[in-house]
Amino acid sequence: MFQAKKHRLGDERYVGRLNLAITARLLSPQDGFDCEAVVEACVAVLAKHAGSFACTVPTYCFMPDHLHAIIKGESDHSRPKQVMDEFKLSTAMWFVREKLPYRWQRSYYDHILRGTWDWRNQVGYVLANPIKAGLESHHDRAPFVGSIGYSREDVLEEFMWLSCATIGGRLQPHIDG
């Protein structure tokens, strides 16, 4: 029988001003997140729960069978993990109510981001996911990549700024492709 993975950290470690990278997968035999109406409904639920727990979502990417998101705690009382738990519960109930054939895996991968390097790498990974999967040729054209609480342009600008390295006394952006 399948055992749900326990989160390695206690719930108290997921409280406050932290950035939490999430990957959650569907168990469904069909891809759920290739339908614009499903993704729009899921984004609305994610935004609702992010607001309820004093969080934002600087970047998210709905792939056909999984979701990547970075959930940011904006106050000392924020609960980024609770955002994801409530999001999965709410969308799972919506899937059933709407008779949609989608089901979440019981758990999800999470990683508390530490420092600028970790944040930059994770944002880059999320933005590049549709390109690596061959779904799009550039992150600007990826239909299900976005941000809650920030403009997409602000996230991209910060990502590009953090992706710069000092080379020969000048800032040089590290841009692939």
Closest CA to 33 of 80, 91, 74: 91
Q: Which long-range contacts (CB under 8 A, 24 or more apart) does 171-177 make?
A: 176/128
Rounded Cα distance, 155 and 124, in Å: 11
Q: Is residue 129 part of a domain?
A: yes
Rounded Cα distance, 83 and 42, in Å: 13
End-to-end CA distance of the chain: 44
pLDDT of residue 25: 93
Full residue range of the structural domain in which residue 56 is found: 13-149
Backbone Cα Rg of the chain:
17
pLDDT of residue 161: 53
pLDDT of residue 22: 95
Rounded Cα distance, 143 and 130, in Å: 9
Name the amino acid, one letter, at 48.
Answer: K
Q: Is residue 145 part of a domain?
A: yes
Confidence of residue 134 (pLDDT cuts 50, 70, 90): low
Convert the pLDDT of each residue in 109-133 to its tens digit: 999 998 777 877 888 888 778 767 6
Q: What is the DSSP letter of 123?
A: H
Instruction: Note if the pTM is more than 0.75.
Output: yes
Q: Which pair of structure tokens corresponds to residue 97?
A: 């109510």
Q: Is residue 2 part of a domain?
A: no
Q: Could you write out the DSSP letters of every residue in 74-102?
A: -STT--HHHHHHHHHHHHHHHHHHTT-S-
Sign of CA dihedral 113, 114, 117, 119: positive
Convert the pLDDT of each residue in 18-76 to its tens digit: 999 999 999 876 677 888 899 999 999 999 999 999 999 999 999 888 999 999 999 99
pLDDT of residue 167: 36
Alpha helices in the chain (DSSP H): 36-52, 80-97, 115-132, 152-162
Q: Which residue would you say has higher pLDDT here, 1 or 81?
A: 81
Q: Are 21 and 122 in contact (CB under 8 A)?
A: yes
User: How high does pLDDT run on average in the chain?
Assistant: 80
Rounded to whole angstroms, what are the CA distances from 170 to 16, 120, 160, 162, 166? 36, 20, 15, 14, 5
Name the amino acid, one letter, at 113.
Answer: L
Q: Which of 23-37, 78-92, 157-171 is predicted with the least confidence, judged by mean pLDDT?
A: 157-171
What CATH number does residue 64 fall under? 3.30.70.1290
Q: Is residue 171 part of a domain?
A: no
Q: Is residue 8 part of a domain?
A: no
pLDDT at 12 over 90: no
Q: Is residue 20 part of a domain?
A: yes
Query: What domain count does the chain have?
Result: 1
